[in-house]
């Protein structure tokens, strides 16, 4: 494989497309909520951990939040529910999707 360094501490600031690409292809849970994969061919956006087959790289855009993907005209995937992802939902506070251990 390549000599790309492993992303030790993922953050929004490290949204390198190559990093995102590798994260979504490996469904790296560390990236869940850090970026969203928008698929131009379907108009859908997904979490990196989406169980659906990975779209072609040339059809993919990456967004730092679900809100950003939605404002670009994408709809949330029904399989991975990106609008419910940690830190991703436009209305996250109101629709808290799962028990959040806050402490
Ligand atoms: Zn999905």
Active site residue 46: yes
Q: pTM of this prediction? A: 0.71
Tell me the C-alpha distance between 39 and 58, whole Å: 9
Distance 66 CA to ligand 1 centre (A): 12
Identify whether the C-beta of residue 23 lies closer than 8 Å to the C-beta of residue 48: yes
Domain boundaries, the chain: 14-84
Integer Cα distance of 7 and 5 in angstroms? 6
H/E stretch holding 69 reads helix 66-71
Q: Note whether 35 and 64 are within 8 A (CB).
A: yes
- Burial tier of 52 (Cβ tally within 10 Å: 0-12, 13-18, 19+): middle
14-84 to CATH, choices 2.60.120.260, 3.40.10.10, 3.90.1300.10, 3.40.47.10: 3.40.10.10
Could you tell me the two tokens for 96?
Answer: 């808290």
Residues of the chain under the 70 pLDDT cut? 1-14, 86-103
pLDDT in tens, 69-98: 999 999 999 999 998 876 555 544 444 444
29 CA → ligand 1 middle, Å? 13
Largest CA distance in the chain: 44
């Amino acid at each position: 494989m390549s000599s790309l360094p492993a992303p030790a501490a993922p953050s929004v600031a490290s949204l390198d497309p190559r990093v995102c690409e590798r994260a979504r292809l490996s469904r790296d849970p560390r990236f869940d909520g850090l970026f969203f994969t928008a698929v131009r061919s379907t108009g859908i956006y997904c979490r990196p951990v989406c169980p659906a087959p990975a779209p072609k790289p040339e059809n993919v855009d990456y967004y730092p939040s679900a809100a950003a993907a939605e404002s670009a005209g994408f709809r949330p995937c029904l399989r991975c529910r990106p609008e419910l992802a940690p830190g991703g939902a436009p209305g996250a506070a109101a629709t808290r999707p799962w028990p959040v251990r806050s402490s």
